[in-house]
Every structure is written in C-alpha cells, then in structure tokens.
Amino acid sequence: MTLSLTKHYLNAVTEHLNRLQQEEENINKAARLIAQQIKNDKLVFAYGPGGHSNLGSQELFFRAGGLMHVSAILDEGTLLSGGALRSMAIERTPGYGKIVINDYNLQKDDLIIIINAYGINSAAIDAALEANRLGVRTIGVTSVEHASNTPKEHPARHPSKQNLHELVDVVLDSKVGVGDAILEIEGLEQKVAAISTFTNAFLLNSMTAEAVNILVQEGIKPPIWRSGNATGGDEWNAQFINQFKDKIKKL
C-alpha cells in the first residue's frame, strides 16, 4: 500500500525530531543559562530575525506553559505582517540587527536567544555580533547544515560571510537541510512542506522545560503562563502581571 504524502510527512517530521535528541547536552546548557537569569529575576530575550523565524520568538512569548520572564523582540521590520518581500529585504540589510538590539536596550550579562533557521542573514549575524560586543550571553537556534552548505556569495549572507552558529555561546542545531522543504512530489521540481517551524518549537520548548525543571529542583517555582482560554487562566496570570508589565516591551 502506497503511503499518502501526509503519512510521509508525519514520518519525516517524527524521524527528524528524534534526531534532535542529539542536542540534549546543548539543550541543558542553554537551560542552565535561562535558569540562572530567572534566579536573578532577569528577563530572557528572544529574537527571530527573519520571516518565519519570528515564529520562534513568539513560541516562547506569552505562551501557555511558557516562562513569564521571556521578552520577545517583535520588531516590525522582519515580521511578515509588514510585507513578505519587505521582510526579506530588511533581514538582508547590514546593520539592522544591531539597531534592534540597541532598541531593546540589552546590557552586559543579559541573555538573548537568537532564532534563525538558516543562520546566515545580516539581521541575525549583526544581532549576534552586537550582543557579543555588549557582553550579552547568546543562545542560537539554527541549522548548522544549512549555513555550512550555503555558498559564501549567496545574496542573503551577511557581508562578513559568518554563520550564526559560529557566533553564539550555545548552539541548538535544528539540523534542517538546505531549502527547508522535505517532501518530493513526482513531476514537480520543488520540494514542499517545510520542517523548520517544528524543529525550532521542539528545541525551544525542550529548553524551557529543562530550565523550569532545574529551578524547581532548586526549590524555585518560576511564574509560568496559563492559557487565558482555560478556566482560571486570567486569574492565575493576574498574580504576576505587575511584575512584568513595565519590564517587557511587548507585553
């Protein structure tokens, strides 16, 4: 019996997520950085400079089961809501990522998670370079394979030709192949069905869960968002809102 494309996709995604168990050591390293920030009652910034990479920062922010200490950098420049072609042009603009980091006033010993599926564009590279200059600790969620196999002369690349995974303190490698899409349809040249959103969400939520577990094992119960659509959700979240509403830019 021939498998449907849906089943092929399910199998491919499941197999890929199983490969991400190889990242457990780095997930735990990243989790310890996050746990330390929360013990110090400091924010954890998340920036996804790139059209769909912005979904990663949103996955961590104001999310049921997520840490309230996360401040998503939701800059309008690369959000698709401002225009898809505009987003792509801005993510390729040298210097833009530096402006965004400074706009959020990141300081020495802050922590930022930079989520960029391919890890080559100017906005991501400049964000990492500026964070390093400021003494901000960095976690990168990106594909080493994709970056390593993208030609140095590709127009999406930062002028320095550097890769995100080379610039951050901890790398969570999504292992996404070049092009992102993974399904082949006979008679069609281009593959369909991307995988990077699955991989980013898995790595980010695994990292969050490990960070929370570290804190709980140390006797600390960090504030966690509860869905406002669940019974009692609004009341639960209201306990903590005043702690964050003047600190998190997009809350």
Looking at residue 2, its pLDDT comes to 65
Looking at residue 3, its pLDDT comes to 74
Q: Note the residue count of the chain.
A: 251
Are 93 and 125 in contact by the 8 Å Cβ rule? The answer is: no
Residue ranges of the domains in the chain? 5-244
Looking at residue 1, its pLDDT comes to 56
- pTM, entire model: 0.95
Q: Residue 7: exposed, middle, or buried by beta-carbon count in 10 A (0-12, 13-18, 19+)?
A: exposed
Neighbours of 56 (CB within 10 A): 29
User: pLDDT digit of tens for each residue in the chain (251 aa)?
Assistant: 567 999 999 999 999 999 999 999 999 999 999 999 999 999 999 999 988 999 999 999 999 999 999 999 999 999 999 999 999 999 999 999 999 999 999 999 999 999 999 999 999 999 999 999 999 999 999 999 999 999 999 999 999 999 999 999 999 999 999 999 999 999 999 999 999 999 999 999 999 999 999 999 999 999 999 999 999 999 999 999 999 999 999 99
Classified by CATH at the fold level, domain 5-244 comes out as Rossmann fold (3.40.50)
d(C-alpha 54, C-alpha 9), whole Å? 23
The three-class DSSP label of residue 161 is: coil
In tens, the pLDDT along 183-236 reads 999 999 999 999 999 999 999 999 999 999 999 999 999 999 999 999 999 999
d(C-alpha 164, C-alpha 139), whole Å? 10
d(C-alpha 186, C-alpha 2), whole Å? 14
**Intra-chain end-to-end CA distance of the chain, in Å:** 51
d(C-alpha 237, C-alpha 251), whole Å? 12
Q: CA dihedral defined by 84, 120, 156, 113, rounded to 10 degrees?
A: 20
Looking at residue 67, its pLDDT comes to 98
Contacts 24+ apart (CB under 8 A), 57-64: 57/113, 57/115, 59/200, 59/201, 59/204, 59/205, 60/113, 60/204, 60/208, 61/250, 62/225, 62/251, 63/225, 64/225, 64/226, 64/227, 64/230, 64/233
